[in-house]
Amino acid sequence: MTVLTRETELTVKEDLWFPYYLQNILDFVKAGVILLSPEGKILFANKMALELLKDNDLEGKDFSLFFTQQDREIFWPNVLTILENEGLYEGEGYLVPREGDGFVAQFHFLRYEPEGAPPFIVLTFQNLSHLKKLEKSLREAKHLAFLGRMLSDISHHVRNPISVIGGLARRLKESPEKVSSYSSALIYQCERLEELLSSLERFVLLRKPCFKPAEGKEIIEILKEKFEIELSGENPELVLNTKGFNSFVFYTDPELLIEALSEIIKNALESHRLLSHAEPVSFSAKVCENQVVFEVKDNGPGISLDVLPYIFNPFFTTKSGHFGMGLTYATRIMEELGGEIEVLNLSNPTVFRVFIPLDRRRPERRYLLFKALDK
């Protein structure tokens, strides 16, 4: 750490005004404090900044050394440009200390231009890792509480087929000559249990999203493969209206998004099949401002007002032979992707809309702003 005395007070970066006693004051601040040149060179760092960046000699180093390669090329130049134009920047970023793991930091930058002295930048930052872990723990606790509320429903859905299996097994023991008829019923109940356990497993063990650029064409082509039968024939059950969407690129987890969309489409197809004369289910996709909007319409019997509040609840269904986990699973995925599902119309047609951010990242992390301004 640079020790500033009255003799060195006016020699720091072209006579930067910095009373030596301020160093001792700033060392008491429980946040990293760094003074930077307009180009990003470190002029001074307080004690907490040294601890956070795991470096005992920061003076003269470029602050960009503590960013990832991508942030050095895009984020950091953008921050300096914003400071030059606006004088202030606040946001989050990822810092990589000399030793140990990187961490998410909350930044507050201020460009200061004192009269009669060269300009400099004041940076304060804090490690948000503990807060991020707490947020994660709260989300996990929320899901655990949700699972706790599901237990009674789970036990009900497991107990019923087990009771049937037990009854059939006892009858089979008493009347072995009826093995053919009883075995079919046993197989059906076992398949129901397998289906239940599979739906619970994918809900509980939903993986963490892996965000990356996804092409609209990629999403549509996979959906075409999954619903090839429903899309084929002279009277298809499903039609796609995605003209112009193929060329769009957005930032998401395409695999999880496709799973959520598939559940909503399957739900619409099931409603469609309840009315033989119904128009085919319609699926459309478009980009609207900063969102990708997917829309699924069906002309089935619709959703009654008394049922509407419960359609996303686990194990809620009005359809015989279903567990009612499809829309629950889709909702869980949307929570992870930062999107949402809404129901617009309840009948004629019933419309589900899925909203996904075009890009969760802030503009300053995606492209060089000054190039965009030059254009």
For the chain, give the mean pLDDT.
83
Mean pLDDT of 123-142: 78
| DSSP assignment string, 222-238 | HHHHHTHHHH-SSS-SE
Distance of alpha carbon 159 from alpha carbon 157, whole angstroms: 6
Q: What is the pTM assigned to this prediction? A: 0.66
- In this predicted structure, the answer to whether residue 13 has a pLDDT above a threshold of 60 is no
- Using 50, 70 and 90 to split pLDDT, how confident is the model at 140? low
Check pLDDT > 50 for residue 5: no
Q: In degrees, to the nearest 5, what angle opens at C-alpha 261 toward C-alphas 133 and 230?
A: 160
pLDDT confidence of residue 165: 75
Residue 7: its pLDDT value, please? 43
Confidence band of 375 (pLDDT split at 50, 70, 90) = very low
- The residues pairing with 298 across neighbouring beta strands, listed in sequence order, are 350
Per-residue pLDDT at 53 exceeds 80: yes
DSSP state of 214: E
Question: What is the strand order of the sheet 32-36 is part of?
Answer: 42-45, 32-36, 120-127, 103-112, 88-95
Q: Which two tokens stand for residue 241?
A: 């209206």
CB neighbours of residue 76 within 10 Å: 20
* DSSP secondary structure string for all residues of 69-99: HHHHHTHHHHHHHHHHHHSEEEEEEEE--SS
Higher-confidence residue of 98 and 221: namely 221
What is the percent of the chain with per-residue pLDDT over 90, rounded to a whole number? 42
What's the CA dihedral at 175, 181, 182, 186 to 10 degrees? 170
Is the predicted pLDDT of residue 6 greater than 50, yes or no? no
Q: What integer pLDDT is reported at residue 275 of this predicted model? A: 80
For residue 319, what pLDDT band results from cuts at 50, 70 and 90? confident
Please give the helix or strand (H or E) that residue 120 lies within, else none: strand 120-127
Residue 147: its pLDDT value, please? 64
